[in-house]
């Protein structure tokens, strides 16, 4: 992949191509673990992860929080014309993405260019940036992992988008999704995401939940049919999150979404895009969410970040906990990886991380943590008795009456007879501490 494209302003001055230098390196602007060509479990790290940069956090985020305005002031955010400003932002984005060697990026429609309230004008703006992005992708080799539509920021969506009680609002969501799908298709996007930020309710006192969920499903079918008709071959992903901004979101967690997809006949086209911090908010570990999705064959993609155990909201910090991620990578490897998606850094640098290189440190740390965790997890699977231990725990179902039960051949009376015949079962340890120590041995 090339460096900065010729003839443009360099936004990240003094920072060159980020290289792999190995664990001994003390260069903070180098990879210590992420060697994209390293083969682990039969695949290069590049192909395992398909890392993506999230346009919104990295190039649209300003450091603002509910208690204060922007603290990040970017040189690409200066021009007054929205399309010209957006092109500068895209120059900066592609400079960063190529310097980081990230193979993919992801965007919402309104990340590429600011939207107003005029549907036709928004479509014109987006088209201008799609034309521009096409050139940038061709020059750099960077690809679009997924596109999506922001159906939560505009005040018209305060009561939901496709679950809004007002049909008129729903039509605006339709217009926006059509344009975002067109953009994703035009840019050879590999997937399309629906995150239902305001698809939920603030109070049941004013909400017909059944009707809203039916509208949601109808909307997804309508969008899917449009995309397929226009040649989109990729996956649709639903991204679960239990709450924030609404009190209760319909796509609560992986299990809830899988039930919804099954109920409304969407399983052929939709899979899951799981986010670490959303799992935490749902009261789950991320490996739990991954396992639920993997068991259903729906582990599509992931939004990499981490939460904060002392805060109850989506802090979207960059991942850096090797131990936790190793447990996730065990599930990842045993599931055979992601189905069509990749690892998108849906994470933002802190409000007080105000230097241009902070964005680099953040991504380098995230990519290194994933690489290191995957290598460790592969060692655990290859070299330890971790797999065997788990298999052996279920050995009583591998033969005899246990096997017959699994095959549906035993009645409740048969179970009773076995219990009487065999007396009290022997105590068997779950060996949790042994297994936790085992993981630590490989860290």
* Annotation: binding site for Mg(2+): 239, 275, 278, 303, 314, 316, 346
- Give the active site residue among 35, 88, 109, 111: 111
Closest to ligand XLS by CB, 40 or 60: 60
Closest to ligand XLS by CB, 147 or 174: 147
368 binds ligand XLS (CB under 6 A): no
Closest to ligand XLS by CB, 363 or 372: 363
Q: How far is the CB of 146 from ligand XLS (least distance, A)?
A: 9
176 binds ligand XLS (CB under 6 A): no
State how far the Cα of 250 lies from the Cα of 213, in Å rounded to an integer.
8
State how far the Cα of 97 lies from the Cα of 74, in Å rounded to an integer.
16
148 binds ligand XLS (CB under 6 A): yes
Give me the sign of the Cα torsion angle 269, 272, 273, 278. positive
Residue nearest to ligand XLS (CB): 195
State how far the Cα of 97 lies from the Cα of 92, in Å rounded to an integer.
9
Asked if residues 92 and 11 have their Cβ atoms less than 8 Å apart, the reply is: yes
195 binds ligand XLS (CB under 6 A): yes
The answer to whether the peptide bond before residue 30 is cis (omega within 30 degrees of 0) is no
Q: Which residues bind Ni ion (CB under 5 A)?
A: 275, 303, 314, 346
Residue 148: which of Ni ion, ligand XLS, none does it interact with, CB under 5 to 8 A by kind? ligand XLS
The residue from 346, 373, 375, 376 that contacts ligand XLS (CB under 6 A) is: 346
Helix 386-393 to helix 358-383 angle, to the nearest 10 degrees?
60
Closest to Ni ion by CB, 277 or 287: 277
Is position 108 annotated as part of the catalytic site?
Answer: yes
303 binds ligand XLS (CB under 6 A): yes
Asked if residues 338 and 385 have their Cβ atoms less than 8 Å apart, the reply is: no
- Give the active site residue among 48, 57, 72, 108: 108
Asked if residues 236 and 226 have their Cβ atoms less than 8 Å apart, the reply is: no
State how far the Cα of 349 lies from the Cα of 54, in Å rounded to an integer.
12
Tell me the CB-side half-sphere exposure of residue 215, using CA atoms within 13 A.
23
Q: Please report, as ranges, the residues that interact with ligand XLS according to CB under 6 A.
A: 108, 148, 193, 195, 239, 241, 275, 303, 314, 346
Residues annotated as catalytic (active site), given as ranges: 108, 111
């Amino acid at each position: 992949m090339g460096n900065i494209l010729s003839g443009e302003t360099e936004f990240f001055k003094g920072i060159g191509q980020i290289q792999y230098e190995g664990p001994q390196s003390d260069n903070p602007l180098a990879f210590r673990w992420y060697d994209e060509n390293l083969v682990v479990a039969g695949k290069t790290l590049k192909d395992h992860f398909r890392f993506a940069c999230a346009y919104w956090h990295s190039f649209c985020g300003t450091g603002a929080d509910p208690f204060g305005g922007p603290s990040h002031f970017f040189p690409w955010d200066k021009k007054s014309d929205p399309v010209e400003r957006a092109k500068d932002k895209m120059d900066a984005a592609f400079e960063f993405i190529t310097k980081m060697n990230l193979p993919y990026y992801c965007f919402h429609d309104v990340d590429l260019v600011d939207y107003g309230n005029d549907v036709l004008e928004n479509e014109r703006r987006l088209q201008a940036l799609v034309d521009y992005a096409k050139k940038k992708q061709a020059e750099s080799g960077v690809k679009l992992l997924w596109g999506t539509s922001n159906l939560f920021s505009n005040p018209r969506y305060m009561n939901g988008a496709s679950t809004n009680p007002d049909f008129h609002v729903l039509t605006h969501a339709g217009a926006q999704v059509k344009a975002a799908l067109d953009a994703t298709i035009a840019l050879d996007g590999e997937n399309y995401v629906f995150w239902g930020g305001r698809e939920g309710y603030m109070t049941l006192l004013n909400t017909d939940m059944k009707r809203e969920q039916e509208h949601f499903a109808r909307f997804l079918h309508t969008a899917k049919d449009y995309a397929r008709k226009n040649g989109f071959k990729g996956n649709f992903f639903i991204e679960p999150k239990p709450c924030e901004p609404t009190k209760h979101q319909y796509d609560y967690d992986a299990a809830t979404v899988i039930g919804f997809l099954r109920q409304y006949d969407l399983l052929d086209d939709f899979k899951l895009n799981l986010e670490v911090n959303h799992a935490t908010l749902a009261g789950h570990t991320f490996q739990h969410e991954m396992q639920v999705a993997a068991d259903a064959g729906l582990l599509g993609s992931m939004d990499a970040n981490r939460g904060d155990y002392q805060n109850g909201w989506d802090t979207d910090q960059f991942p850096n906990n090797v131990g936790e991620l190793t447990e996730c990578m065990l599930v990842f490897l045993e599931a055979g990886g992601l189905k069509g998606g990749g690892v998108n850094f849906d994470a933002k640098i802190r409000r007080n991380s105000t230097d241009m290189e902070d964005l680099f440190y953040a991504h380098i740390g995230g990519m290194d943590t994933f690489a290191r965790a995957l290598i460790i997890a592969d060692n655990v699977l290859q070299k330890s008795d971790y797999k065997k231990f788990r298999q052996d725990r279920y050995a009583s179902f591998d033969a005899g009456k246990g096997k017959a039960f699994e095959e549906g051949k035993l009645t409740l009376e048969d179970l009773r007879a076995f219990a009487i015949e065999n007396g009290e079962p022997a105590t068997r340890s779950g060996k949790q501490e042994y297994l936790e120590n085992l993981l630590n041995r490989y860290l």
